Structure 1
């Protein structure tokens, strides 16, 4: 489109922080000016001029039969070329310029490879170019997961939105701040939450411990949470209750499974207020933190479902003639479940800060969307905990439907918060 060499295009894009539209506009207006700024000559390709000939090396000042001269007129012997390029590559320079005094012309990448003559150095230089592309490009990020070497390209990154992305290693993180995904909360909210949630408050620590073990509210028998679903059924007395609020789950004197559609415990009872005493603020924070920690604990427990994936898919293949591709729904359901837990954690961070940061967001609407996601998440979690392979096979359509409902619900919740992000950043 701009009729320039790939090497020059890379240099210009780097100067423009890899913004293609900006490069096109500025280059169209002033091709000579922007090329001069980037240190390239668009009228001459930086090739080795002619054959290697006899002359004086401008670095060691020794005569040589193999002086290689660039189009800028500066020539050097093979030994000096190699030493110079080796130093530049080891220093991770991505735009290697001619070593001539006050020259500053950038050497074409092809010429660097041609003059270097060392495969290891060339490979190292190419790695540096890739690292530079990722580090300098606002649309590309390295995955922050330990030992992961993948980078993610987000071509439609929007400054007015948080962006949660999933790497090929399945790490789910925020493209903006590289922390774990925390939508719908903003990066600054999540940063403040992390500090507050690790403050060591004794009552808060007790709340966290309670995410692991509680007493049945009916018979008082201790119960340990071993699965991700927050619907609990006491084996001692048969009482159905919600692990988050400890209230009865479902209808009837002992509760039942109907709570998946009618149980509500995600709304903070007190009215919003910007003027809270320290005690009131801590009490409110503990309420949100307990639900955040509950979903975090559920996510940790549900992550163990990944250990079953190979066994379940193998059994489906051997016992029910389901292809490996056809059993992908089970793995997709787990990943969707873990993503939903992450979003729900972020939703309680957002809920805590909402009265201050986003008072224009309708509390009841946000909590309604949040409740929908919680309900569909618990249903999917309950479904994925089925052990019998035959039941999993028979309920494939149910798995797919519940996975789709969770995905649609969390997109709906994110849409509400994205409106808040736009308003906040106007």
Structure 2
């Protein structure tokens, strides 16, 4: 994966072009005299990092940049269609910021395009703030939309030629106060400004509406303009209104997404992950806040190597009480030898019973001695257990056992990743100990923290790999996937065990440092192999799933 300004989006050719654009004559002379000389600080084209075929490029935008994007598009439509800025904004929001579709509809039938968007026809005035209400002979009773005072009489009438009575609050206004204390749009539906204000506050703060706030008259589709709202409501309400408009702009765009992490106001822009490609890509991006997220589904972390649809199906299945009622994810299990209750307090799955000293695997409860050999099959479910299921009850039990096999490993790696997170504090103390006992510098002991980072990253990948394995159909490709999964899992467990070892003397520090460094490098290698093969498999359509993706 890559981000603009950090790796693949930086175009080195453009950097050279910009350099040669400055002072053409001097550059020409330089190129004639020394054609092979270049700035040593400039990156060479061949040094540009290669982007993986399954990676996407993205940009991180600020809120002001999003506002500037809207302003630019509104200004463009305003000049092309020759309409006021507020009308251009309403038209763009109605057509979901598709300027091409907007222009096509507008030039075919301007009146229809304006009316559908909630604007007055071309010949109609936009507002009538100073126009007095129609005469009593032409004024009729109207039904009003649910507003701030719907329990009041729903009527609108003129007391006399120059006075006006608000249809909602029944407040009467004389001829002099009508222009300043009442308001009507091009639809000529007039109400007092207090009712307008209360109505807008309810819509904005109560209902969270912004782009589609319409006239209070029932059946009227005229949209209230931005400048009208800014004039009628308080500043805090106006600020909330514009925030909602910005949020709606991001939500309407298929290339923009808010960062889902708390207190982060950045927006991610990605043009390479349309919905039609989400069955072949897992578009993981990184925000400037330092957190990963999936641009496809908005998941607040990386869920590679699993497709977005599979993640949704898995989480729905895990949340289904019918599936999880028979499984209580406990933090304790019983020793298979002496039945003593054992609590897992570390990320490593290599467990040792303090009572009988039996060494076993926390995941499958099998002897740990088999996990370092070719017989290591802890990650693979025995499909034969469901082949002989004849009756419905037996098949249901086999299906549940299969689900629990993958769910327990998924949940275990999630739990282990959290426990490994606690290793940071232990690792910091161990790093201080190595500095004091082994006469190592601060930089020389960073290998321990880096190893913890690698272990946590690998555990998250393993967690989601079990989600994917649950939905994979059994074939040769699945066998290869599980082989890669097994190798990574075995490497992570070895690294996790080394990270939890204590330091006894100076010689053990040197050996531990070498072991952890080598093991972390091997974990990273196995992680990259699993990730690379799996994500490329989507593009090559190698994976077959038991559900429609």
TM-score of the superposed pair, with normalisation by structure 2: 0.53
Looking at structure 2, the residues matched to 35 and 275 of structure 1 have their Cα atoms a distance apart, in angstroms, of 67
Aligned residue in 2 for 1:230 = 349
Of the candidates 354, 362, 367, which is equivalent to residue 477 of structure 2? 362
Of the candidates 475, 492, 513, which is equivalent to residue 377 of structure 1? 492
| Structure 1 residue 371: Cα displacement | 1.8
Of the candidates 413, 431, 436, which is equivalent to residue 295 of structure 1? 413
Question: Is the 1:174–1:180 Cα contact (8 Å) retained in structure 2?
Answer: no
Of the candidates 168, 171, 180, which is equivalent to residue 66 of structure 1? 180
| Structure 1 residue 125: Cα displacement | 2.0
Task: Give the stretch that moved more between structures: 155-164 or 174-183.
Answer: 174-183
Aligned residue in 2 for 1:27 = 102
Residues 15, 396 of structure 1: alpha-carbon distance in 2 compared, 3 angstrom cutoff = farther
Q: Any idea what SS the aligned residue of 2:244 has? A: helix
Q: Any idea what SS the aligned residue of 1:226 has? A: coil
Residues 37, 48 of structure 1: alpha-carbon distance in 2 compared, 3 angstrom cutoff = closer
Looking at structure 1, the residues matched to 269 and 544 of structure 2 have their Cα atoms a distance apart, in angstroms, of 19
Question: Is the 2:333–2:341 Cα contact (8 Å) retained in structure 1?
Answer: yes
Looking at structure 2, the residues matched to 347 and 366 of structure 1 have their Cα atoms a distance apart, in angstroms, of 9
Looking at structure 1, the residues matched to 446 and 237 of structure 2 have their Cα atoms a distance apart, in angstroms, of 45
Of the candidates 525, 528, 532, which is equivalent to residue 408 of structure 1? 528
Question: Is the 2:471–2:547 Cα contact (8 Å) retained in structure 1?
Answer: no
Matched, 1:244 2:363: yes
Of the candidates 117, 128, 139, which is equivalent to residue 38 of structure 1? 117
Larger radius of gyration: 2
Residues 216, 77 of structure 1: alpha-carbon distance in 2 compared, 3 angstrom cutoff = closer
Looking at structure 2, the residues matched to 380 and 10 of structure 1 have their Cα atoms a distance apart, in angstroms, of 57
| Structure 1 residue 35: Cα displacement | 4.8
Looking at structure 2, the residues matched to 275 and 179 of structure 1 have their Cα atoms a distance apart, in angstroms, of 41
Runs of at least 5 residues in structure 1 that lack an aligned partner in the other structure: none
Residue deviations 1:206-230 (CA, integer Å, cap 9, x gap): xx55x6345377x998754321122
Residues 328, 175 of structure 1: alpha-carbon distance in 2 compared, 3 angstrom cutoff = farther
| Structure 1 residue 154: Cα displacement | 6.5
Q: Any idea what SS the aligned residue of 1:192 has? A: helix
1:7-406 residue pairs with structure 2 within 5 A? 11-12=90-91, 14-16=93-95, 18=96, 23-31=98-106, 32=110, 34-40=113-119, 60=166, 62-63=174-175, 64=177, 66=180, 72=186, 79=194, 82-90=197-205, 91-94=207-210, 95-97=212-214, 104-113=221-230, 115-116=231-232, 118-133=234-249, 153=268, 155=270, 156-159=273-276, 160-161=278-279, 168=289, 176=297, 184=306, 185-195=310-320, 199-201=324-326, 205=328, 208-209=329-330, 212-215=332-335, 224-232=343-351, 241-247=360-366, 249=368, 259=372, 263-271=376-384, 276=389, 277-278=394-395, 279-305=397-423, 320=441, 330=449, 333-334=452-453, 337-338=455-456, 340-355=458-473, 362-382=477-497, 385=500, 401=521, 404-405=524-525
- What root-mean-square deviation, in Å, do the aligned CA atoms of Structure 1 and Structure 2 show? 5.5
| Structure 1 residue 370: Cα displacement | 1.8
| Structure 1 residue 287: Cα displacement | 3.5
Residues 351, 82 of structure 1: alpha-carbon distance in 2 compared, 3 angstrom cutoff = closer
TM-score of the superposed pair, with normalisation by structure 1: 0.65
| Structure 1 residue 303: Cα displacement | 3.6
Question: Is the 2:348–2:496 Cα contact (8 Å) retained in structure 1?
Answer: yes
Q: Any idea what SS the aligned residue of 1:408 has? A: helix
| Structure 1 residue 112: Cα displacement | 2.2
| Structure 1 residue 37: Cα displacement | 2.6
| Structure 1 residue 53: Cα displacement | 6.0
Residues 85, 190 of structure 1: alpha-carbon distance in 2 compared, 3 angstrom cutoff = closer
| Structure 1 residue 364: Cα displacement | 0.6
Q: Any idea what SS the aligned residue of 2:472 has? A: helix
Q: Any idea what SS the aligned residue of 2:180 has? A: strand
Looking at structure 1, the residues matched to 488 and 480 of structure 2 have their Cα atoms a distance apart, in angstroms, of 13
Residues 273, 10 of structure 1: alpha-carbon distance in 2 compared, 3 angstrom cutoff = farther
Looking at structure 1, the residues matched to 216 and 406 of structure 2 have their Cα atoms a distance apart, in angstroms, of 61
Residue deviations 1:17-69 (CA, integer Å, cap 9, x gap): x5x5xx2442243234555432247979x9879xx868669774643363798
Looking at structure 1, the residues matched to 87 and 471 of structure 2 have their Cα atoms a distance apart, in angstroms, of 48
Residues 180, 397 of structure 1: alpha-carbon distance in 2 compared, 3 angstrom cutoff = closer
Residues 328, 30 of structure 1: alpha-carbon distance in 2 compared, 3 angstrom cutoff = farther
Question: Is the 1:164–1:174 Cα contact (8 Å) retained in structure 2?
Answer: yes
Looking at structure 2, the residues matched to 307 and 274 of structure 1 have their Cα atoms a distance apart, in angstroms, of 48
Query: Number of residue pairs matched?
Result: 399
Question: Is the 2:204–2:237 Cα contact (8 Å) retained in structure 1?
Answer: yes
| Structure 1 residue 121: Cα displacement | 1.8
Aligned residue in 1 for 2:77 = 4
